[in-house]
Structure 1
Amino acid sequence: MDFAIPVPPQGPTPNGRDAELHIYPHRSEVQLPSVNCTAFSWSEKCRTRSSVIVNEEGDRDRQNFDTCPEYFRWIHEDLRPWTRTGITREMLESGRPKAGFRLVIIDGRAYVEKFMDAYQSRDKFTLWGILQLLRLYPGKIPDLDLMFNCEDRPNIFIGDYSGPGPNSTAPPPVFRYCGDDDTLDIVFPDWSFWGWPEINIKPWVPLMEDLKQGNKRTKWSNREAHAYWKGNIKVSMVRYKLLGCNLSREHDWKARVFMQDWDKEQEQRFKNSNLADQCVHRYKIYVEGVGWSVSLKYILACDSVTLMVNPYYYDFFTRSLVPMHHYWPIKDDDDMCNSIKFAVDWGNTHQQKVRAIGKAASKFTEEQLRMEKVYDYMFHSLNEYSKLLTFKPTIPPNATELCLEELACPAQDLATKFMIDTLVKRPSFSSPCSLLPPFSPTDLDNIRIRKETPIKQVQMWEKNMSFI
Structure 2
Amino acid sequence: MKHNVPVFGFTKTRHKPTWGLDPDGIILIPCFTFSIFTAPRIGKWRTIFETLPKIADKIKWENRVKKVMWRGARTGDRWWLTEIGERKNDSSLDIQFIDWKSGKINRHYSDNFKTVQQYCQYKYLLHQEGWSYSNRLKYLLLCGSPVIYANFYEWEEYWYHLLKHDYNILVFKDKGNEKLFKNLTHAIGYDDQKAKFIGTNGKALVEKYLSEQAVLCYFRNVLIEYEKLFTYKPVKHPNAMKIDEFLVGYSS
* TM bucket, shorter chain: 0.7 to 0.9
> Which residues of structure 1 form unaligned runs of 5+?
1-159, 162-169, 420-468
Give secondary structure in 2 for the equivalent of 1:179. Answer: coil
Q: TM-score, normalised by structure 2?
A: 0.83
Partner of 1:293: 134
1:34-433 matches, cutoff 5 A = 160-161=1-2, 170-181=3-14, 183=23, 184-197=25-38, 199-233=40-74, 235-237=75-77, 239-248=78-87, 251-252=89-90, 254-264=92-102, 267-268=107-108, 273-311=114-152, 312-335=154-177, 337-393=178-234, 400-403=238-241, 407=245, 416=251, 419=252
Q: Distance in 1 between matches of 2:69 and 2:125?
A: 5
Instruction: Report the CA distance between 1:198 and its aligned residue.
Output: 5.0
The question of whether the paired residues in 1 share the 8 Å contact of 2:128 and 2:149 is answered with yes
Alignment deviations for residues 150-194 of structure 1 (CA, whole Å, 9 cap, x no partner): xxxxxxxxxx33xxxxxxxx5331111011235121111111122
In 2, are the aligned partners of 1:254 and 1:340 still within 8 Å (CA)?
no
Q: Kindly state the Cα deviation for residue 401 of structure 1 after the two structures are TM-superposed.
A: 1.9
Which residue identity does 2:76 align to in structure 1?
S
- Deviation of 1:262 after TM superposition, in Å, equals 1.3
Q: CA deviation at 1:241?
A: 1.0
C-alpha displacement of 1:275: 0.8
**SS at 1:313 equivalent:** coil
Query: Does the 8 Å contact 2:8/2:27 carry over to 1?
Result: yes
Q: 1:270 to 1:276 in 2, by over 3 A?
A: farther
What is the SS of the residue equivalent to 1:213? helix
Instruction: Letter of the 2:166 partner, please give it.
Output: M
Contact kept, 8 Å, 2:9 with 2:29, in 1: the verdict is yes
RMSD (CA atoms):
2.6
Distance 1:269 1:193 in 2: 24
**TM-score, with length taken from structure 1:** 0.47
Q: CA deviation at 1:268?
A: 4.7
C-alpha distance in 1, partners of 2:39/2:86?
Answer: 31
Q: Is the 8 A contact 2:86 2:96 kept in 1?
A: no
| Distance change >3 Å, CA 190–CA 258, structure 1 → 2 | same
Which protein has the larger Cα radius of gyration, Structure 1 or Structure 2? 1
Q: Per-residue displacement from partner, 1:182-234 (whole Å, max 9, x unpaired)?
A: 5121111111122122544221121123311321232222212221110112x
**Secondary structure in structure 2 of the residue aligned to 1:246:** helix
Q: Aligned equivalents of 1:248 and 1:349: distance in 2?
A: 22
Shift in Å, 1:394 = 5.8
Query: Which aligned segments of 4 or more residues in structure 1 are displaced greater than 4 angstroms?
Result: 268-272
- 1:213 touches 1:276 (CA, 8 Å); kept in 2? no
Contact 1:200 1:270 in 2 (8 A): no
Number of aligned pairs?
Answer: 236
Contact 2:12 2:26 in 1 (8 A): yes
Task: Indicate the percent of aligned positions where both proteins have the same amino acid.
Answer: 22
Letter matched to residue 326 of structure 1: N
How big is the shift at 1:345? 1.6
Secondary structure of the equivalent of 1:244? helix
CA drift of 1:343 comes to 2.1
* One-letter identity of the residue aligned with 2:170: W
User: Which of the pair has the greater relative contact order for Cα pairs under 8 Å at 6+ separation?
Assistant: 1
Q: In structure 2, do the counterparts of structure 1 residues 350 and 273 end up closer, same or farther at CA, with 3 Å as the change threshold?
A: closer
Q: Is the CA contact 1:247–1:253 (under 8 Å) kept in the aligned structure 2? A: no
Q: Contact (CA 8 Å) 1:227, 1:256: kept in 2 or not?
A: yes
Following superposition, the deviation at residue 329 of structure 1 comes to 1.6
